[in-house]
Amino acid sequence: MQCLRIFSVRVALALWGWCALQASAAVEAPTADGLALYQANCAACHEGKVPRAPHMITFSMLGAEAVLSAMNEGVMRAQASGLTPAERQVLASFLAGAPAEPAAPVVSCQSPLAAVADEDPAAMQGWGGDLRNRRSVAAASTGLTTDNVGALSLKWVFAFPGALRARSQPLVHDDVVFVGSQSGEVYALDLETGCAHWTYSAGAEVRSSLSIGTLPGRENPVVFMGDFSATVHAVDALTGSLVWRSPIGDHPDATITGSLKVHEGKLFVPLSSSEWATAADPGYACCTFQGGVVALDAVSGNLIWRSHVIDTPAAETGQTNPHGAPRKGPAGAPVWNSPTIDAARGVLYVGTGEAYTSPAADTSDAVLAFSLATGERQWSKQLLGGDAWNMACFIGEAANCPEEDGPDLDIGASTILWSDADRDYLLVGQKSGDVYALDPDNGGAVIWHNKVGRGGFSGGVHWGMSANQQSLFVPIADTTFTGRFKGEVFPGVHALDPASGARQWYTPSPGDCEGKPAPECDRGMSAPATSTEDLVFAGSFDGNLNVYDGRSGEMLWQFDTFGRFQSVSGEMAQGGSIEADGPVLYKGHVLVNSGYQFGGRMPGNALMVFAVPAGADLALETTHD
Ligand code: HEC
């Protein structure tokens, strides 16, 4: 059916409308029942065959609205492209176990937000905490020390309505928590009580963390974010009203999942895609996404430059797949980490993922440096060649699986720009479990290399590391989930000397899976860590948030976020795995998201806020670097 492919191509939005009309005209006839639709269209992947695909039981938690939106405008739009709107409705209600209904409301604050300060020296900036992505905050600004951290207790829990995952790392600025969600709602929550000052609807999932900045001529600061449909939004931080929005994808499957950076009036945005999943359709002419980074004018949202990871646009190779679909390439190498800004050298760095087609482009699984001013690529350092993979490799006859068939060992974690008295180092962690220091002055030449994990599907190093002045803290996942990767595993936190790569300590993750679902529960640590001079905060798949002494690796405090918690709105929040984003530290508070159903992990929808009780020894200063 012609409409089939057009449905998954967002470029043809006008045609989409036409197809939708055609389809709805056709469904006056009785629809097949939900189970039959599920078995014919979805079960092949969702019954455990594709590890990333959530199991059917998790759909009831997600709710019909969210299942529907996954099919209409989310990750499943290609998979559901052959279904009529009425069939999708039936399927969504069947999978959710209840008809679609609006998500539960959030609690609005009683009194309006009076102002949001332009500057907040205590705030961690965006995903990486600073432009260098160190994810390290001065103890003086967090007020958290080895002495008082044991007194942390749960202050409030926010339940993201209609969500199976909580993965937009909160941004706390001037006592307001700005956070995105799976449903596409973006919230400004009061740090004291969790009530919502405003809600903004992005229209598609916001996975990244928000960033804040000021614009000339505007009274209030502005929060910036990217969404799953590759649109960047600028929203007034005080009112939640739209300033501008700018679609930046140049491919129908383009997405933004990594957090953007704000620097000198520009936004630097990483581009990823869901074409790796579309490739599972044997009739799809795989693949054409080129990966990239985009620079926008922060005032207008206008494009300043666009640079691709793979320069050569994809073309037909002359071959066809076993289903007769033309093969295209080269493609792939998504960027799903937040760029690292090197202001002194005038460049930014990103890590890239695997290639989608064979042979793998030489910029896949690489670190790339782009000029901040022009976007011109300065250098590329590939850390693993020949890694071509997409979701077709998981299923059936795998018509679009590249011949390399993996191993899929992206550089998904943001690189960290770290300096000692002698020089600068670009610290890189890979899903393979390899950690590198690259030389930013010498084309990314390797200064040191240390393999600290076995690596695998969720890493090795998955989402991020943290570095203070003494140590590089490396969370390692090393799950045994797919059985595809073999060898001894080292899940937990590893501390390395950032200048030499030598190990300082390793604290294995204790694992806490009793009474929790198997195999979703695992002791691996894939979420990014956060540190101060003295402390390391890191969460694990089993739902535990751990705090370590940064010098010894001794565990000082632990909280199990798995389970059901009373939320601010009165609804129960579900805590699950800690994944994809990491702890945020702010004036005696620790914020962490819990719940992540991808990768077969424990779903949930909880944003948890902990605080050191009033009266605890909290020595706050308002300066940090
Ligand atoms: C070719 C394999 C495949 C098929 C067929 C498939 N799915 Fe999925 N599904 C996945 C994967 C993989 C994910 C996780 C996507 C990701 O990691 O981004 C997923 C995720 C989802 C999610 C969660 C979306 C989200 O945003 O969290 C829903 C809901 C879903 N699928 C519903 C369906 C329905 C309904 C069907 C049938 C119409 C279907 N899927 C068919 C592989 C598949």
Task: Give the closest residue (by CA) to ligand 1 atom 14.
Answer: 53
Ligand 1 centre and the CA of 515: distance in Å? 27
Whole-angstrom distance, CA of residue 585 vs CA of residue 439:
30
Section 255-264 average pLDDT: 97
Q: Quick check: is 205 in a domain? A: yes
| Residue 496 shares a structural domain with residue 579 | yes
Residue with structure tokens 């300590």? 505
What count of other Cβ atoms lies within 10 Å of the Cβ of residue 384? 18
- Split at pLDDT 50, 70, 90, the class of 163 is confident
Same domain, 176 and 92: no
**What pLDDT shows up at residue 127?**
95
Give the residue from 531, 455, 540 showing the smallest Cα distance to 495.
531
Supply the range of the domain harboring residue 462: 139-611
- Using the mean position of ligand 1's atoms as its centre, give its distance from the Cα of residue 223 in Å: 30
* CA 154–ligand 1 middle distance (angstroms): 33
416 with 316, same domain? yes
The answer to whether position 110 is within a domain reads no
CB-based contact 172:591 (threshold 8 Å):
yes
| Binding pocket residue ranges, ligand 1, CB within 6 Å | 41-42, 44-46, 50, 52-54, 62, 67, 70-71, 74-76, 79-80, 91, 164, 277, 280, 391, 395, 598
According to DSSP, the residues that pair with 186 across neighbouring strands are 200
- Closest residue by Cα to residue 249 from 278, 221, 228, 223: 228
Q: Which of 96, 112, 131 is the last residue of a domain?
A: 96
In this structure, which residue's CA is closest to atom 24 in ligand 1? 70
Is residue 4 pLDDT above 70, yes or no? no
Domain count of the fold of the chain? 2
Query: What pLDDT sits at residue 103?
Result: 60
| Residue 122 resides in a domain | no
Q: What's the 251 CA to ligand 1 centre distance in angstroms?
A: 20
CB 550 within 8 A of CB 495: yes
Tell me how far the alpha carbon of residue 45 lies from the centroid of ligand 1, in angstroms.
8
Q: Which of 75, 181, 206, 458 to mutate to test the pocket of ligand 1 (most atoms within 8 A of CB)?
A: 75
CB burial of residue 217 (10 Å; 0-12, 13-18, 19+): exposed
Taking all residues of the chain, what is their mean pLDDT, rounded to a whole number? Answer: 90
Pair 436, 583 in one domain: yes
Distance from Cα 96 to the centre of ligand 1, integer Å: 14
- 12-21, 90-99, 224-233, 263-272: which has the minimum mean pLDDT? 12-21
Predicted confidence (pLDDT) at residue 272 exceeds the cutoff of 80: yes
Nearest atom within ligand 1 for CA of residue 92:
35
**561-598 pLDDT, tens digit each:** 999 999 999 989 999 999 999 999 999 999 999 999 88
Tell me, yes or no, whether 117 lies in a domain.
Answer: no
pLDDT over 80 (residue 25) = no
Per-position b or e across 41-65, b if 16+ CB within 10 A of its CB: bbebbbeeebbbbbeeebbebbbbb
What is the domain-level CATH number for residue 12?
1.10.760
- Residues 321 and 176 occupy one common structural domain: yes
Asked whether the beta carbons of 562 and 602 are under 8 A apart, the reply is yes
Last-in-domain residue among 39, 61, 96: 96
**Hey, which of 57, 79, 89, 90 would you mutate to test ligand 1's pocket, going by the most ligand atoms within 8 Å of its Cβ?**
79
Find the angle CA(509)-CA(512)-CA(516) to the nearest 5 degrees.
140
pLDDT of residue 397: 73
Q: What is the pLDDT of residue 105?
A: 72
Q: Which residue has a Cα nearest atom 13 of ligand 1?
A: 53
Give the per-residue pLDDT at 624: 39
Does 539 reside within a domain?
Answer: yes
Distance between CA atoms of 209 and 129, rounded to whole angstroms?
Answer: 11
* Distance from the alpha carbon of residue 581 to the mean position of ligand 1, in angstroms: 21
Instruction: Name the more confident of 209 and 27.
Output: 209
Please, how many CA atoms are within 13 Å of residue 275, restricted to the half-sphere of its CB?
A: 34
**For atom 12 of ligand 1, which residue has the closest CA?**
53
SS3 call for 395:
coil
The fraction of the chain above a pLDDT of 70, given in percent, is 91
pLDDT of res. 396: 67
**Residue listed under structure tokens 């890239």:** 352
Mutation pick for ligand 1 pocket among 4, 7, 41, 45 (CB with most ligand atoms within 8 Å): 45
Do 177 and 70 lie in one domain? The reply is no
How many CB atoms within 10 Å of residue 185? Answer: 22
**Residue 527 CA, ligand 1 centroid: distance in Å:** 22
Do 17 and 159 share a domain, yes or no? no
Provide mean pLDDT across the span 130-146. Answer: 95
Q: Which residue, judged by its Cα, is nearest atom 19 of ligand 1?
A: 53
Decide if 30 is inside a domain: yes
Structure confidence by residue, pLDDT tens digits, 97-121? 766 655 667 899 999 899 999 999 9
Determine the pLDDT at residue 190.
Answer: 98
What's residue 569's pLDDT? 93
pLDDT tens column, 397-419 = 789 999 999 999 999 999 999 99
- What Cα–Cα distance (Å) separates residue 300 from each residue in 186, 247, 297? 21, 12, 6
Q: Please name the amino acid found at residue 47.
A: E
- Ligand 1: which residue has its CA nearest to atom 25? 70
Residues 152 and 63 in one domain: no
pLDDT of residue 61: 67
CB-based contact 526:541 (threshold 8 Å): yes
CATH (domain of 219): 2.140.10.10
Mutate which of 8, 39, 52, 76 for ligand 1? The one with the most ligand atoms within 8 Å of its CB, which is 76
> Identity (one letter) of the amino acid at 225?
M
Q: State yes or no: pLDDT of 276 exceeds 70.
A: yes
Residues 293, 396, single domain; the answer is yes
Residue with tokens 């694990």: 540
Q: Three-state SS across 416-460?
A: EEEECCCCEEEEEECCCCEEEEEECCCCCEEEEEEECCCCCECEC
pTM of the model: 0.86
> How far away, in angstroms, is 284 Cα from ligand 1 center?
17
- DSSP, collapsed to helix, strand or coil, labels residue 59 as helix
440, pLDDT greater than 60: yes
Give 48's pLDDT tier (boundaries 50, 70, 90). low
| 358 and 293, same domain (yes or no) | yes
Confirm if 7 and 19 have CB atoms less than 8 A apart: yes
Residue 383 lies inside a defined structural domain of this protein: yes
Q: Which of 43, 61, 96 is the last residue of a domain?
A: 96
The lowest-confidence range among 14-23, 98-107, 143-152 is: 14-23
> What is Dmax (Cα atoms) for the chain?
74
Whole-number Å distance, alpha carbon 80 to ligand 1 midpoint, is 9
576, 582 in Cβ contact below 8 A? no
Neighbouring residues of 99: CB distance < 8 A, sequence distance ≥ 6: 64, 93
DSSP-derived 3-state class of residue 6: helix
Question: Which amino acid belongs to residue 298?
Answer: A
Candidates 333, 343, 284; CA nearest to 312 is 333
Between CA 363 and CA 105 the distance in angstroms is 45
- Measuring from atom 40 of ligand 1, which residue has the nearest CA? 42
Give the per-residue SS3 of 65-126: HHHHHHHHCCCCCCCCCCCCHHHHHHHHHHHHCCCCCCCCCCCECCCCCCCCCCCCCCCCEC
Q: Pick the residue whose CA is nearest to atom 11 on ligand 1.
A: 53
Q: Is 388 helix (H, G, I), strand (E, B) or coil?
A: strand
The token pair that represents 110 in the structure block: 């009683």
Residue 328, H or E segment:
strand 326-329
382: left (phi over 0), alpha (psi -120 to 50) or beta: beta
Query: What's the CA-to-centroid distance between 70 and ligand 1, angstroms?
Result: 8
The helix or strand, by DSSP H or E, that contains position 366, with its residue range, turns out to be strand 366-371
CA distance 512 to 561: 11
User: For the purposes of burial, counting CB atoms within 10 Å of the CB of 29, is it exposed (0-12), middle (13-18) or buried (19 or more)?
Assistant: exposed
3-state secondary structure 534-583: CEEEEECCCCEEEEEECCCCCEEEEEECCEEEECCCCCEEEECCCCCCCC
SS3 helix, strand, coil % of the chain, rounded to 5?
15, 30, 55
Is the domain of 74 the same as that of 146?
no
Greater confidence (22 vs 279) lies with 279
| Residue 508 within any structural domain of the chain | yes
* Atom 10 in ligand 1: residue holding the nearest Cα: 53
Cα 620 to Cα 618: distance, rounded to the nearest angstrom: 6
Are 485 and 556 in the same domain?
yes
Q: Is 223 exposed, middle or buried (0-12, 13-18, 19+ CB in 10 A)?
A: buried
Statement: residue 383 has pLDDT above 80: yes
Which residues have a Cβ under 8 Å from the Cβ of 89 and sit 6 or more positions away? 68, 100
Residue nearest to ligand 1 atom 31, measured at CA: 76
**Which residue's CA is the nearest one to ligand 1's atom 35?**
42
Place of tokens 């790569």: 501
Q: Please give the pLDDT value at position 620.
A: 55
